[in-house]
Structure 1
Amino acid sequence: MKNYVAYVGSYSYTGKAKGITIFDVDVERGSFKKRAEVEVDNASDIVVSSDRRMLYAVEDYGVVAFRILPDGGLVRVSSKKVNGMRPHHICVDQEGKYLYTSGYHDGKLTILRLDPDGAVGPIVDEVYHKGLGSIAERGSRAHITCSKPTRDMRFVMSADPGIDQVSIYRFTGRPGEIRLVDAIRTARGSSPYFFTFSKDNRFLYLLFDMTNAIDVYRYTVSEDRGMPEFTKLQTVCTTGDNAPGSLNAATCMTFTAHDHYIFVGNAGDNSVTLFSRDAETGLLTAEFNLPISGEYPKDVAVFPDGQHIVSVNHESGTLSFFKVDYEKKLIVMNTNEIPVSQPNCCVIVPVGEDA
């Protein structure tokens, strides 16, 4: 059996957490055991490279790169400022060429080049979103919460709940050549918050936090103009059959390894919803909506066996663990929760010679 470790990113400004907590993972039991902490100033998000050699984390005013050791330990390699405020979200492309950061506070997309050894290089391009939105508590201005390339690497997309839009850019990799080519314009007050593509790159799943919804789109590229085309196929409620109350907000969306299922966390009612996914049509079907035994599930991570999940509960400062029964459509808490101060995110990574 492979060995796995989990990395949990936390805010550190209260002094109760250092930034990243490393856990040993018991896949069979579906549990974590704390090993160590690594200092990062306010790790609002973390991501692991596709070859699992590097871990990248947000820190105040920039990003930091760590090399993942064979035992799962972390060694700081480099850090870079992003010429702006602390990013909200971070993403690395499948080829390990670029790092993409999303600025919630300043509405800034920043793309940094990665060196061959995985260290963070210089800024290649940066774009500030402009415009006015409709959500008063967000200042009615641009706030980028998620930026990623399409899986074919032809475009870069940025979700902005402040202006109710997903901007689509053509990115060549040459400095200063990023160009806005289109946008998915969503309803006023819908707040597009996070998105991901299916592994076959055919479907886009766009999560709206204020309206508790997922929109499913078919993604193609026109042969004559080489432009992205998104066809809306479906809208589903993230709180299942329950009415999306005004105090609820969808917080996260996580696929299982083979895209068969999607878990969505909801703050307010503090629940998790499971959707099954049709691989051919891309459409989603709600299977259950159940309480997550914590406050503000900011992330949900799926264990490598696909049979367990961990909920990262930001407000209650806990990690709660569940076994998933897909046939009976329920989750059962399978071990004691673990306290972690203001956790934001979690990734589970194989380590060692078999990784």
Structure 2
Amino acid sequence: MLTLAFRITAGMMALSLGLVARAQEMAVIFGTHSGGPGVGFSIANFDTASGHLTDPQLIMQAEAPAYFVFDPSHRFLYTCGSPAFIAAYAVDPSTGHLTLLNQKPSGGGDPSYISLDKTSRFALVANYQGGNIAVYALRPDGSLGERTAFVQHTGHSVDPIRQKHAFAHSILVDPSNRFVLVADLGLDQVFVYRFDATTGSLTPSNPATFKVPPGSGPRHITFHPNGEWAYLVTEMGSSILFYKWNARHGTLTEKQQISALPSGFTGVSTSAEIRVHPNGRFLYVSNRGRDSIAVFSIDPHSGRLSIVQDVPSGGKTPRNFDFDPTGRWLLVTNHDSDTAMVFRIDPQTGLLSPAGTPVQIRRAFSPRFLPLQR
């Protein structure tokens, strides 16, 4: 009887969740790495029950709004664009349409990554070609305020072409909002700065840098929901470095190195995005050249990774991807085939399976899910 009661309860919960998912109006905003007339931000509708994604439609022309983020309220969007600016937009909560608030110089060429601190009072940007980072205050109306920090990286690493100078590739605050971590591809280093959440200033931590294997080219970092584990993907080395993060001292202790590519792969490939699933059990990496999404299980006790799947991304050169708010779907953009593809996530294993067919989106870059209020 208990088993039957449990099944009935579980069934009712599943039905309830399904109804909630069907009732949720969801959109997806896409960025692009292209510029010129007729390109910019696009929007599509997404069904959280079936995983169906409609064909994206242009909603605002913008110059290469490749990487962008929403604030936690989804009222504002912040992007970095070519050749050297960041921009703030207001988001219409019922349609997802955007209104430009203002722009600011990013502080260096080819800004590649933008993020917000945990209070949403500051925007942080990494300038790839400039080899530097900057922090900007955010005004109460969501617009960009004054620059509160700027740091120029200098030096080089072993690759004479890809690493001839600093290439700051990503920047984000740690879960405590007390430190900022920067992955610099050109220097083969992860920089750690102390972050003042009152003034937006940055000061080098002690130690100030952590080295990665020469020639590996660190790209993006992500934290586990427990706040104690950090995972770094290297672009040139196509590897993942797992660290124990000390939020009190701002230090990284390496625990594992593992390839993002399947055993025996001999082709040319570079890794791009890395994300931990919201449930903390799985980690995902995109591989360009291999054109796949690698899936890893996360040991719940040690945090170590084990590869469980390498699935074709549904196109060429997968760059960014994102989880929908239910955690049941992963959406990946395939930059060089001008497509985006939805995958179903198995909640028990983390394995991916294609859902439907790819949609067309020119020079597709960041996809971000946006709940709508209608």
TM-score by length of 1: 0.91
C-alpha RMSD of the superposition: 2.0
Q: Which residue of 2 aligns with 1:56?
A: 78
Correspondence 1:232 to 2:254 = yes
Correspondences of 1:70-149 after superposition (within 5 Å):
70-71=93-94, 72-149=96-173
Inter-partner Cα distance in structure 2 for 1:244 and 1:209: 16
Inter-partner Cα distance in structure 1 for 2:246 and 2:351: 35
Correspondence 1:342 to 2:363 = yes
- CA-to-partner distance for each residue in 1:2-29, whole Å, 9 max, x for gaps? 21111110023254x5211111111122
Correspondence 1:274 to 2:295 = yes
Inter-partner Cα distance in structure 2 for 1:351 and 1:217: 37
Inter-partner Cα distance in structure 2 for 1:91 and 1:102: 9
Inter-partner Cα distance in structure 1 for 2:191 and 2:235: 17
Inter-partner Cα distance in structure 2 for 1:116 and 1:175: 15
Q: What's the CA shift for 1:228? A: 1.7
Judged with a 3 Å threshold, the aligned counterparts in structure 2 of structure 1 residues 123 and 277 are, in CA distance, closer, same or farther, namely same
Residues paired across the two proteins, number: 347
| Paired amino acid for 2:86 | V
Whichever of the two has the greater Rg, that structure is 2
Correspondences of 1:1-355 after superposition (within 5 Å):
1-13=23-35, 15=37, 17-33=38-54, 34-60=56-82, 61-71=84-94, 72-172=96-196, 178-181=202-205, 182-221=208-247, 227-239=249-261, 241-243=262-264, 245=266, 247-325=268-346, 330-352=351-373
Inter-partner Cα distance in structure 2 for 1:276 and 1:233: 15
Judged with a 3 Å threshold, the aligned counterparts in structure 2 of structure 1 residues 304 and 175 are, in CA distance, closer, same or farther, namely closer
Q: What's the CA shift for 1:324? A: 3.1
Counterpart of 2:161 in 1: which secondary structure? Answer: helix
Note the residue ranges of structure 1 that are not aligned, 5 or more in a row.
none
- CA-to-partner distance for each residue in 1:17-46, whole Å, 9 max, x for gaps? 521111111112213223442122111201
Q: What fraction of aligned residue pairs are identical, expressed as a percent? A: 22
Larger proportion of helix: 2
Q: What's the CA shift for 1:115? A: 1.1
TM-score by length of 2: 0.87
Judged with a 3 Å threshold, the aligned counterparts in structure 2 of structure 1 residues 285 and 143 are, in CA distance, closer, same or farther, namely same
Of 73-82 and 325-334, deviating more is 325-334
Judged with a 3 Å threshold, the aligned counterparts in structure 2 of structure 1 residues 328 and 104 are, in CA distance, closer, same or farther, namely closer
Query: Contact 1:319–1:340 at 8 Å: present in 2 too?
Result: yes
Counterpart of 1:32 in 2: which secondary structure? Answer: coil
Query: Contact 2:329–2:342 at 8 Å: present in 1 too?
Result: yes
